[in-house]
Structure 1
């Protein structure tokens, strides 16, 4: 039995050709290497990270160009991952007895139904048991109590001084950081200069780029900013003071945000995140903003939707400033309404007769009883 998160991205990366996936990359690469004499690792990178400008039909989304589906760079680390791990993943996906997907049918209805049909055609099982996100802010770990208490005090103070839905929560997860590091500092500075209350999670211990001393000094002197090395994300997203979540668009973060009805500003790094960002934006659910100028590619290329990001620092600053203005206006209110609707519908998945509850019972009956 195999488990994975984002279904659409999984299909794109290791799904079969018939579903629009990369297919058996190892076999394809070996064949091309024999035919052309090229390095097999180079071919694997091209197949996993297509950059031809061909349109691809991501299940559940409008047409996009192939290079819109990833931000990954062919670094030595990424080459080792793609050539070592992904061929093994493909074999697992196509030889396993079944799949437990931690996605959910509200966020990715079409791709989950497609994958379910694909596996069941070969007599295998497919269970969708998401979202796996806490909705009670009382269910908190007792670890790092000083960080937790500082965050709680800050949220309470901002609620009293600035009111409900006033704080931006900024966290890029436990592993990732924006590829454009300079732009990340610029965006944080913009939020601070506009005096928008902000919780900013940054920890040098986990390979994060060191914050410029001048920026740190500016943030630490602002009474509307809290820098923390860790935050109890569930508590933050469930607090009345929290308005927006600036996120790398990992599926766990998206699930937690929507489970609390909090709209997002998506700044994806790589792996499944660019596709997740499409889902939260105007292409699908309209529960947030998909930042376009921050997409890191070797050169400026047009998006299928008719926009060509330049990726310059000036363009990123302009886009993010506009997003902030819209987020606290009528457009942002619409996205918040959509996110709150998601909250209600997601909670229903774990009702007694909810989709996730029934899928989990089916899995327990099939494999554990």
Structure 2
């Protein structure tokens, strides 16, 4: 009898993209499973990701994968703390095996098997509530889809003995009902306490907030995620033991013994969906990369990208980076995809005239990373960017800002010695001595200038070669989890046998 799996994330591409790859993998492993991905504003991205598949692979699964755009009445789309009535409506239709219509294509699906499994973004607590209003855990088990590492999850939601904030979810839930500001203030208050997450280098608590960024709204998601995890049968984490073995083992024991939940590491980003040649080169990015390759050789370019959300709080520090790259005659590519990004015209003109750099509104990151000219990747250190760096074997230089980024940087830089980190770019009230430093560093623009100069020397000498070799070795270990008998395949097969077969 065919099985039916429903999938849903909030409209964050960092959440949805790895779930698309997971869906494709399961579709190829289980030919009797039907999938409905309830989409929203990310519908075009999801369809574009599926279109990357080679024709034969897509033909084999396309009739069992239904991506349905169910518009949300909210003009701004569903966020962590918002409701999305469209999901509840769509799930109800699927639950009753009625006809669901895609708001983009008009495609209709009906008569599908009863839903046997739901994989839901824990940021979307409203979606989990909608499922549980109709289906019991026995009828439709729910697994939360955590697109980040176990270390960050442990910090925010784990018990104190694992380095977590303890029962912070309950405290936040009570406070959010009163004032968001008070909740955020208490959660984000730092005292200089040492944070020890299993397998991660120790750090002071204030190192978790290296940039002057307002988290008052973001903190409202803490009780939502906590409740989602409690309401789910388990959580799928986009991670692997070759990266954070101790953290996975410790949190899995806590999940099993204390929460009665399952924890499944499903591997990091893989080549499940290959990256085809770029169809359009609207801003001449590939032409620029090809020219730099011809003039400067392989691994000569530094790719500088902070994603579609983040941008340095103090823009003079990014201007300083640009200036030092130009002074050192180091080619670079810098997309300013964030709405916060704005580089002055005089700097834009200087970069264009140099022939060394290119600043664009957006760059095809995977295309850039797999190009042979790309030698290093300066990144904020979000989990997706970290994974893509390893996937394409491009070593990282961290410029962390918030969220999981500081501990990602600490793990890869200090534990594995597989990356570098720029320290002086911090801003705000937490510009204090990092645990790793014996003396208080400076965080001035001039300090950034000096550190970038040293960094360029380091990546060009034996230290850079050593970091590159270590990053390459870790990349191979990450890739191996997807091979037959590898951790990800074993974990996913066990999960499917229990909840799908």
Query: Structure 1 residue 182 and structure 2 residue 321: aligned?
Result: no
Aligned 1:33-72 pairs, distance under 5 A: 41=180, 43-71=182-210
Gap change, CA 1:134 and 1:193, over 3 Å in 2: farther
What TM-score does the superposition give when structure 2 sets the normalisation length? 0.66
Equivalences for 1:258-297 in 2 at 5 Å? 258-281=390-413, 283-297=414-428
Deviates more, 1:66-75 or 1:261-270: 66-75
1:307 and 1:278 map into 2 onto residues whose CA distance is 18
The equivalences for 1:1-369 within 5 A come to 1-4=143-146, 5-28=148-171, 41=180, 43-71=182-210, 73=212, 75=214, 78-82=215-219, 84-121=220-257, 122-134=259-271, 138-139=275-276, 142=279, 145-147=280-282, 150-203=284-337, 206-281=338-413, 283-298=414-429, 300-305=431-436, 306-369=438-501
2:469 aligns to what SS in structure 1? Answer: helix
SS in 2 for 1:214: helix
> Which one has more relative contact order, counting CA pairs under 8 Å at least 6 apart?
1
Q: CA deviation at 1:134?
A: 3.6
Once residues 193 and 135 of structure 1 are traced to their aligned partners in structure 2, the CA distance between those partners, rounded to angstroms, is 40
Q: In 2 relative to 1, CA 136–151 (structure 1 residues): closer, same or farther, beyond 3 Å?
A: farther
Decide whether the 8 Å contact of 1:116 with 1:125 is kept in 2.
yes
Q: CA deviation at 1:80?
A: 2.2
Cα offset, 1:46, TM superposition? 4.2
Greater shift in the superposed pair: 246-255 or 99-108: 99-108
8 Å CA contact retained: 2:210, 2:430? no
Q: Do the aligned partners of 1:177 and 1:208 also contact (CA within 8 Å) in 2?
A: yes
Contact 1:56 1:65 in 2 (8 A): yes
Per the alignment, do residues 29 and 129 of structure 1 end up closer, same or farther by CA in structure 2, a change over 3 Å counting? closer
Is the Cα contact below 8 Å between 1:30 and 1:40 reproduced in 2?
Answer: no
Deviation string 1:156-176 (CA, Å, 9 cap, x unpaired) is 222222111111011111211
Q: 1:30 to 1:364 in 2, by over 3 A?
A: closer
* Residue ranges of structure 1 left out of the alignment (5+ in a row): 34-38
Q: Deviations over 1:339-363 (max 9, x none)?
A: 1112221221110111112222222
Distance 1:269 1:299, change over 3 A: closer
What's the offset of the Cα at 1:297? 3.3
Shift of 1:16: 2.4
Question: How does the TM-score come out when normalised to structure 1?
Answer: 0.89
RMSD: 2.3
Question: What CA deviation, in whole Å up to 9, does each residue of 1:17-47 have, x standing for no partner?
Answer: 33221122254468999xxxxx865553344
Q: Deviations over 1:85-144 (max 9, x none)?
A: 2121122234421010012222222111211221122432111112124488643564xx
CA contact (8 A) 1:14 1:22 kept: yes
Matches of 1:138 and 1:59 in 2, distance apart? 34
**2:425, 2:443 within 8 Å by CA — same for their partners in 1?**
yes
The 1:138/1:66 distance shift into structure 2, 3 A limit, reads: closer
Aligned partner of residue 107 in structure 1, secondary structure:
helix
Partner SS for 1:108: helix
- Larger C-alpha radius of gyration, 1 or 2? 2
Equivalent pair of 1:57/1:63 in contact (CA under 8 Å): yes
8 Å CA contact 2:459–2:465 kept in 1: the answer is yes
Q: Deviations over 1:238-295 (max 9, x none)?
A: 22211100101011111111122211110011111111111221x2111111111112
For 1:17 and 1:123, locate their aligned partners in 2 and report how far apart those are by CA, in whole Å. Answer: 18
- TM-superposition CA deviations, 1:170-195 (whole Å, max 9, x none): 11112111122210111122112221
Q: 1:332 to 1:156 in 2, by over 3 A?
A: same
Whole-angstrom CA distance in 2 between matches of 1:365 and 1:70: 41
Q: Secondary structure at the match of 1:253?
A: helix
